[in-house]
Amino acid sequence: MTRLMIIVASVREGRIGLPIAQWVRGVAEADPRFDIDWADLKEIALPLMDEPNHPRLRQYTHDHTKAWSARVDAADAFIFVQPEYNYSFAPALKNALDYLHAEWRRKPVGTVSYGGISGGTRGTTAIRPVELALGLSPTQANLELAWAAQHLNDDGEFEATESNGRTLHAMLDEIAQLDGALAPLRG
């Protein structure tokens, strides 16, 4: 079974990423191939990178870094539920990525992005070099939600379209396949 960490990248008050991520979580939890680790960066509350040593050394000095390292190390794959901010990615996600190095290596990552007209495409594109530098293997199937706030119901829950569901299932299929191929390389 693939240990899939779903990372909620927005830490803003009133964020629409939370209900979107909860929908992703529900779909992933219904898939028997995955064991889910829910990682809400707002709850985790990592301070701005405060480790004295380069992350590739894994000589962490702070308990929050050691705990984050253990969780990411235990994960086999990731889904980033991320907003687009000013044509780029969420700073909380960049900070969470930068805390670590080897823990991300040779693991698949899918993206559920959201924003205005672009659906978060520019944020996904902007963070791709960071993912590749850390050795993450991005999926080709990614879900981009344009005008996502318009898909929240009166209770604040995200109402996915049939197309959204198909794309998310395609991403989960790809994550499972990539994990099967990459797991022996993580050795």
Would you identify the CATH topology of the domain 2-186? Rossmann fold (3.40.50)
Q: 32-75: per-residue pLDDT in tens?
A: 999 999 999 999 999 999 999 999 999 999 999 999 999 999 99
**Kind of pairing, strands 34-40 and 143-146?**
unpaired
3-state secondary structure at position 108: strand
For the segment 1-20, the average pLDDT, to the nearest whole number, is 97
Percent with pLDDT over 70 in the chain? 100
Question: What does pTM read for this prediction?
Answer: 0.97
- The mean pLDDT value of the chain amounts to 97
pLDDT at 114 over 90: yes
For residue 141, give the nearest of 56, 65, 79 by alpha carbon. Answer: 79
pLDDT tier for residue 172 given thresholds of 50, 70 and 90: very high
76 close to 3: Cβ distance less than 8 angstroms: yes
- Sequence spans of domains, the chain: 2-186
Mean pLDDT of 98-103: 98
Q: pLDDT tens for residues 176-185? A: 999 999 999 9
12-25 pLDDT, tens per residue? Answer: 999 999 999 999 99
User: How many other β-carbons are positioned within 10 Å of the β-carbon of residue 183?
Assistant: 15
Instruction: Report pLDDT for 57.
Output: 97
Helices (H), 4-54: 17-29, 41-44
Q: Is the pLDDT of residue 187 over 90?
A: no
pLDDT at 133 over 90: yes
Q: Detail the DSSP E strand segments found in 25-135.
A: 34-40, 77-83, 108-115
